[in-house]
């Protein structure tokens, strides 16, 4: 199989099967079992813009499976600063590695890289485009909590315009028949072409500015950060951002099983009082980045995950 | 006003290409798409907003001493997909050609999205726009997936 550029590269069955692999790899991700499935393989980490969780979790995933990682390093000191094209950079790394994980500020960069490369590309975010490996860990987290993906009511909240995680996730959830509530300030609404795509796929989508009013019957609330720099002035930001903050007191009427997710880093959109509630899942979600990416690395490198993973380390 | 009268608003050409049934007001865009500009040396005649039975009004272009190729004509699919094209030799129609819009438009225009990877013109891979729908025309960039603004697209001719 080629790389993973958007969620359209995976069928629903493939998604579920990769999540099953991830489930079995949990003890490996936790360090309880050593399973060097990817020994002898090299991952090229090409992060053309800052990343903490995505880059580190790819690296951890590869190392937990016995593989090696080479990094592009700081873009400021690499040949990119000398004006090297993405095409040329990919030609080089393609020769050094077996698989590439990349993040790039330009939208479409991952597809461009895949068209230039022999090895599979894992898109770790391209501008405001897609972030499918994040979607896989989000789906893993949702399934872990609810035991299923289909038919859930999911609220996506915050910056839906520029937030690539919610772009990829909304497409995937729609394919599993989830009902979507898109809660955002009007300035940061989900791009019209994405909403129209979701509706064309038969999705039940509601757009609203009222986050707190949408919590009542939600199964999942997926928060994202609203960035100050998107607003013309600070007063406008303060007014809008205030309506997209969750405090433990806002959760009184929520379903017991409702989970709150966040791709992190958070600033103040989720108050620390939420951390201790049964709803908070964002730190588990960040950990799940490792196990989901382990399963993806195995799948794209055509290395099967054994039906049982045992043998305590 | 007859069709014949329209065609004679400008002199009949001996050899070259006549592009008829261009949507009214789109002739300049057609020239832009074909790369026919100040640096072209061949005579070009253009009439705009003339009456048409089929279209109400239309534009017509005559390019002398140059037979446009099928590839060149296919570029017009973005601005005048229903235009009629005739190759003229010795004052007669020697060949009629149709404009074809395939599944993808490659290396004709570049994506209109300012943050697309293809805005770096040093990147060597072809510019690719996928045709999602013909009527109405909907295009998306193969790389960034953004829908294309057709008004803006004609300014991005390669």
The pLDDT value given to residue A313 = 42
Question: Does residue B5 have a pLDDT over 70?
Answer: no
- Region A152-174: mean pLDDT is 93
The pLDDT value given to residue B10 = 74
Residues A89-122 pLDDT 10s:
999 999 999 999 999 999 999 999 999 999 999 9
For chain B, give the percent of residues with pLDDT over 90. 58
Nearest to A108 among B122, B124, B143 (CB): B143
B117 with A107: Cβ contact below 8 A: yes
Distance CA A165, CA A186 (A): 19
The pLDDT value given to residue B2 = 56
DSSP assignment, residue B144?
T
A275 interfaces chain B, CB cutoff of 8 Å: no
Give the pLDDT band of residue A124 (cuts 50, 70, 90): very high
Residues near B1 by beta carbon (within 8 Å), at least 6 away in sequence: B50, B51
Residues B69-103 pLDDT 10s:
988 888 888 888 889 999 999 999 999 998 888 89
- Region B125-151: mean pLDDT is 92
Residues near A172 by beta carbon (within 8 Å), at least 6 away in sequence: A7, A15, A135, A139
For chain A, give the percent of residues with pLDDT over 70. 98
B117 with A85: Cβ contact below 8 A: no
**Which residue of chain B has the CA closest to A110?**
B143
What phi and psi values does residue A158 have, to the nearest 5 degrees? Answer: 110, -130
Question: Does residue A312 have a pLDDT over 50?
Answer: no
- The number of angstroms, rounded, from the C-alpha of A282 to the middle of its chain's C-alpha atoms is 12
Give the pLDDT band of residue A1 (cuts 50, 70, 90): low
Give the best-scoring range by mean pLDDT among A53-57, A133-137, A192-196: A133-137
Residues of A designated catalytic? 53-54, 82, 103, 131
Average pLDDT over chain B, rounded to whole?
89
B123 with A106: Cβ contact below 8 A: no
The pLDDT value given to residue B37 = 77
B125 with A87: Cβ contact below 8 A: yes
Do A44 and A101 contact (CB within 8 A), yes or no? yes
Average pLDDT over chain A, rounded to whole?
92
Question: Does residue B1 have a pLDDT over 60?
Answer: no
Give helix A282-300 / helix A12-29 axis angle, nearest 10°. 110
The pLDDT value given to residue B57 = 94
Question: Does residue B155 have a pLDDT over 90?
Answer: no
B142 with A83: Cβ contact below 8 A: no
Nearest to A108 among B118, B122, B147 (CB): B118
Nearest to A108 among B124, B141, B147 (CB): B141
Q: Record the pTM.
A: 0.88
Name A259's bridge partners. Answer: A220
- Region A246-273: mean pLDDT is 94
Question: Does residue A311 have a pLDDT over 60?
Answer: no
A138 interfaces chain B, CB cutoff of 8 Å: no
- Region A277-304: mean pLDDT is 97
Helix (H) or strand (E) holding B132: strand B128-133
The token pair at A246 is 């969750």
A75 CA to chain B: closest CA distance, Å?
17
Residues A178-212 pLDDT 10s:
999 999 998 899 999 899 989 998 899 999 999 99
Residues A169-179 pLDDT 10s:
999 999 999 99
Between A and B, how many CB-CB pairs are < 8 A?
62
| Residues of chain A contacting B143 with CB distance shorter than 8 Å | 107-109, 111-112, 115
Give the pLDDT band of residue B42 (cuts 50, 70, 90): confident
What phi and psi values does residue B95 have, to the nearest 5 degrees? Answer: -160, 140
- Region A273-287: mean pLDDT is 96
**Which residue of chain A has the CA closest to B148?**
A193
The number of beta carbons lying within 10 Å of the beta carbon of residue A132 is 29
- Region A284-310: mean pLDDT is 96
Question: Does residue B142 have a pLDDT over 60?
Answer: yes
Give the pLDDT band of residue B8 (cuts 50, 70, 90): low
B143 with A111: Cβ contact below 8 A: yes
Question: Does residue A81 have a pLDDT over 80?
Answer: no
Residues A225-238 pLDDT 10s:
987 777 778 887 88
For chain A, give the percent of residues with pLDDT over 90. 78
């Amino acid at each position: 199989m080629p790389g993973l550029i958007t969620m359209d590269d995976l069928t629903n069955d493939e998604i579920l099967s990769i999540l099953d692999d991830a489930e079995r790899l949990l003890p490996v991700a936790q360090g309880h079992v050593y399973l060097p499935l990817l020994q002898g393989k090299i991952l090229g980490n090409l992060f053309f813009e800052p990343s903490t969780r995505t880059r580190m979790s790819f690296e951890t995933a590869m190392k937990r499976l016995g593989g090696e990682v080479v990094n592009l390093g700081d873009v400021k000191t690499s040949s990119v600063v000398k004006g090297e094209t993405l095409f040329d950079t990919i030609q080089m790394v393609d020769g050094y590695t077996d698989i590439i994980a990349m993040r790039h500020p330009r939208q479409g960069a991952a597809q461009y890289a895949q068209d230039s490369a022999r090895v599979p590309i894992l898109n770790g975010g391209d501008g405001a485009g897609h972030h499918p490996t994040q979607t896989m860990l989000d789906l893993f987290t949702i399934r872990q909590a609810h035991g299923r993906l289909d038919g859930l009511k999911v609220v996506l909240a915050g910056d839906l315009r520029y937030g690539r995680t919610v772009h990829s996730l909304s497409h995937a959830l729609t394919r599993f028949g989830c009902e979507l509530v898109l809660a955002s300030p009007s300035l940061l609404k989900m791009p019209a072409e994405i909403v129209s795509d979701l509706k064309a796929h038969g999705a039940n989508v509601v757009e609203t500015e009222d986050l707190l009013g949408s919590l009542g019957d939600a199964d999942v609330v997926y928060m994202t950060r609203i960035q100050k720099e998107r607003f013309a002035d600070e007063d406008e930001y303060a007014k809008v951002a205030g309506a997209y903050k969750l405090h433990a007191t806002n959760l009184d009427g929520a379903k017991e099983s409702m989970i709150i997710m966040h791709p992190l880093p958070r600033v103040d959109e989720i108050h620390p009082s939420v951390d201790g509630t049964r709803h908070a899942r964002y730190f588990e979600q960040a950990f799940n980045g490792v196990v989901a990416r382990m399963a993806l690395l195995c799948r794209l490198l055509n290395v099967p995950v054994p039906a049982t993973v045992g043998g305590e380390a | 006003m007859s069709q014949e009268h329209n065609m004679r608003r400008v002199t009949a050409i001996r050899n070259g290409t006549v592009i008829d049934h261009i949507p009214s007001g789109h002739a300049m865009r057609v020239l832009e798409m074909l790369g026919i500009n100040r640096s072209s040396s061949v005579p070009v005649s253009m009439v705009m907003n003339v009456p048409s039975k089929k279209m109400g009004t239309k534009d017509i272009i005559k390019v002398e001493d140059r037979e446009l190729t099928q590839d060149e004509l296919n570029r017009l699919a973005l601005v005048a997909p229903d235009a009629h094209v005739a190759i003229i030799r010795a004052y007669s129609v020697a060949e009629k050609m149709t404009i074809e819009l395939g599944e993808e438009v490659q290396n004709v225009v570049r994506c209109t999205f300012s943050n697309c990877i293809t805005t770096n013109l040093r990147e060597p891979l072809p510019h690719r726009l996928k045709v999602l729908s013909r009527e109405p025309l909907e295009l998306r960039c193969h790389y960034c997936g953004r829908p294309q603004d057709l008004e803006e697209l004609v300014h991005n001719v390669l």
